[in-house]
């Protein structure tokens, strides 16, 4: 006579769901706090970009790429 494992499988799935819900219940505030901190850092970066003064780019003159001038005299 062979034993059926369908009931055991359903109990194991129920335990998996229960443990998942318990973990989500206890970890939810930490996840929400982390997401809130992420959005706060985005907001801080945007506010800093509004407060930064824009500086005039230096005039490149003849040497646009700032390459050293090489005098090739042989």
Nearest-angstrom CA–CA distance, 19 and 26: 11
Structural domain spans, the chain? 7-49
Q: What is the pTM of this model?
A: 0.47
Nearest-angstrom CA–CA distance, 30 and 24: 10
User: What's the pLDDT tens digit per position in 6-42?
Assistant: 777 888 999 999 999 999 999 999 999 999 999 999 9
């Amino acid at each position: 006579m062979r034993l059926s494992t369908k009931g055991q499988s359903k109990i194991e799935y129920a335990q998996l769901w229960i443990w998942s819900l318990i973990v989500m219940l206890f970890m939810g505030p930490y996840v929400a706090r982390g997401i809130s901190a992420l959005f706060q850092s985005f907001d801080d970066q945007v506010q800093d970009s509004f407060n930064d003064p824009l500086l005039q780019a230096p005039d490149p003159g003849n040497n646009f790429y700032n390459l050293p001038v090489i005098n090739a005299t042989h």
